[in-house]
Amino acid sequence: MAKPLLITAFEPFPGVPDNPTETLLRSFAELDDDILASARCVILPTQYDLAPARMLEALDFEASAIIMTGYSNRATALTLESRSTSASLPDRPDAAGFCPAPSDAPVVIHDTRLDLASIVAALTAEGIPAEISDDAGSYVCNHIYHAALGGPCHAGGIPGLFVHIPALPGTPLAATAAGTMSLKDLQKGMGIIARMVIAN
């Protein structure tokens, strides 16, 4: 039996009372898509201390791959993050009000080993806007991506990718977001991404 795919999303955080990644993941169970419908979906707290631990705990069942999702008000497409860094924002609190302490330590960078250009090409061929980013931010999204790429995706060889998504149309976030994408297109795009990540 094939190992299942792990997909993560985030709970609300300051400024984002309804996280579209949570809405997206909760929709997978009803889809006519065997990969997404059978994936193990985990909603992570948007907290520096808890999110990486919960993600790594979820990986204990030996996933075939991990796809992490997060919301970005700058996203206008499915944004595939090529790398993570050890940098954190000392002035942006997480959902528990915690801010990481400033650090003078050298920044450590981890790169995904996936062929992101091929994934973007597959998405755009199906009419799904997609792009590659080399800046996953310095918030909890980047924090869990760094934990994944520096841990199970490196030592365990598990394919891993972080995807930032835009706001959903008609939601309060859409009023201030750089872009929106329909739930249907997000689902279709995630199905394409999932298959290509697993096949890596």
141 is catalytic: yes
In order of 84, 140, 162, 189, 192, the CA distances from 135 in angstroms are: 7, 13, 11, 21, 22
Sign of CA dihedral 177, 14, 108, 57: negative
200 vs 195: CA distance, rounded Å: 9
- Using DSSP, state whether 200 is helix, strand or coil: coil
Name residue 130's beta-bridge partners: 78
Tell me the DSSP string of 59-100: GGGT-SEEEEEEE-TT-SSEEEE-EEES---TTS--TTS--P
With b for 16 or more beta-carbon neighbours within 10 A and e for fewer, the 44-56 pattern comes to bbbbbebbbebbe
Q: Which of the residues 41, 99, 141, 153 is marked catalytic?
A: 141
Task: Please name the residues in contact with 150: beta carbons below 8 A apart, sequence gap of 6 or more.
Answer: 84, 108, 110
Which positions are annotated as active-site residues?
A: 141
